[in-house]
């Protein structure tokens, strides 16, 4: 079987579980390190000619990371696709198990079993009210019904935009500040927030700089995500008011 993955987290999951199946991946597929497959461009704008030239039996996509028109173009060209869309930790674990089983995995890989164990304990419940920007210029934040939002909820972070009608609202900075968050969560992807780029917009408010891979990827990183994210949430930076 020949698989092309346009989703970084699925690239890592398939490469670690079924070595040799992947023949192509995006330029953003950085894990596992040293992955030696053909590169087909970005997740949003892959080179579909290059994808088709790899003669894949299946192309892996995600509703949020990839464009509908690319999926439709592949289907129209007779290329089978599988589209994932987990919005909870449980949903991600189930989709991963089903995908790997259908790709021929002889059993559940250890990293997936470890991820189940890591997330088996119930969430701690909302304890800190937060806003979660994922982009700036313009500001974009996590709304409701998102995988990352469920991850944070389980770690004791209450998203102040969880009930918003949009999944990724675009409030102004003044609107974000007016929510008076107890915490600002700043992941390093898709926008690369850093200690010098992000916290200065929220003076006096603790800002937790999180690993985007552990917050938004659903794959082998899920096994270590709770420990990594809890440590980062516990060590926020605060810029003077």
- What does the pLDDT read at residue 120? 94
Q: Mean pLDDT throughout 174-190?
A: 97
Q: How far apart are CA 147 and CA 90, in angstroms?
A: 10
CATH 3.40.50.1980 segments of the chain: 3-85, 86-241
Q: Is the pLDDT of residue 208 over 90?
A: yes
Q: Compute the mean pLDDT over every residue in the chain, rounded to the nearest whole number.
A: 96
| Lowest-confidence segment of 38-47, 116-125, 173-182, 210-219 by average pLDDT | 116-125
Q: Mean pLDDT throughout 113-129?
A: 85
- What does the pLDDT read at residue 3? 98
- What does the pLDDT read at residue 174? 98
- Of 1.10.10.10, 3.40.50.1980, 3.40.190.10, 3.30.465.10, the CATH number of 86-241 is 3.40.50.1980
- What does the pLDDT read at residue 241? 79
Q: How far apart are CA 78 and CA 149, in angstroms?
A: 35
CB 119 within 8 A of CB 153: no
Instruction: Go through 18-39 and write b for each residue having 16 or more CB atoms within 10 A of its CB, e for each that does not.
Output: beebbbbbbebbebeeebebee
CB 134 within 8 A of CB 128: no
**pLDDT band for position 123 (cuts 50, 70, 90):** low
| Lowest-confidence segment of 43-57, 81-95, 109-123, 214-228 by average pLDDT | 109-123
Whole-number CA gyration radius for the chain: 19
> For domain 3-85, which architecture applies?
3-Layer(aba) Sandwich (3.40)
Chain-centroid distance, C-alpha 218: 6
Find the farthest-apart pair of alpha carbons in the chain and give their distance in angstroms, rounded: 57
Q: Mean pLDDT throughout 197-205?
A: 97
- As a whole number of Å, the end-to-end CA separation of the chain is 57
pLDDT in tens, 63-86: 999 999 999 999 999 999 999 999
């Amino acid at each position: 079987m020949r698989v092309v993955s346009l989703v970084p987290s699925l690239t890592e999951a398939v490469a670690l579980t079924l070595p040799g199946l992947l023949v192509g991946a995006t330029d953003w597929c950085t894990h596992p390190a040293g992955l030696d497959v053909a590169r087909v461009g970005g997740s949003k704008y892959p080179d579909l000619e290059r994808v088709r030239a790899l003669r894949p039996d299946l192309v892996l996509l995600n509703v949020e990371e990839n464009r509908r028109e690319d999926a439709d173009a592949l289907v129209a060209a007779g290329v089978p696709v599988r589209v994932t869309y987990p919005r909870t930790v449980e949903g991600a674990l189930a989709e991963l198990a089903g995908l790997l089983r259908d790709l021929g995995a002889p059993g559940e890989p250890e990293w997936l079993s470890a991820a189940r164990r890591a997330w088996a304990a119930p969430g701690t419940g909302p304890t800190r009210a937060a806003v979660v920007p994922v982009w700036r210029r313009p500001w974009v934040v996590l709304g409701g019904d998102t995988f990352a939002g469920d991850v944070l909820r389980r770690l004791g972070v209450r998203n102040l935009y969880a009930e918003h009608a949009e999944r990724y609202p675009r409030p102004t900075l003044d609107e974000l500040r007016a929510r008076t968050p107890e915490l600002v969560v700043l992941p390093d992807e898709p926008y690369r927030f850093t200690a010098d780029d992000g916290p200065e917009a929220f003076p006096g408010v603790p800002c937790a700089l999180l690993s985007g891979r552990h917050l938004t990827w659903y794959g082998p990183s899920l096994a270590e995500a709770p420990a990594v994210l809890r440590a980062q949430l516990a060590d926020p930076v605060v810029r003077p008011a």
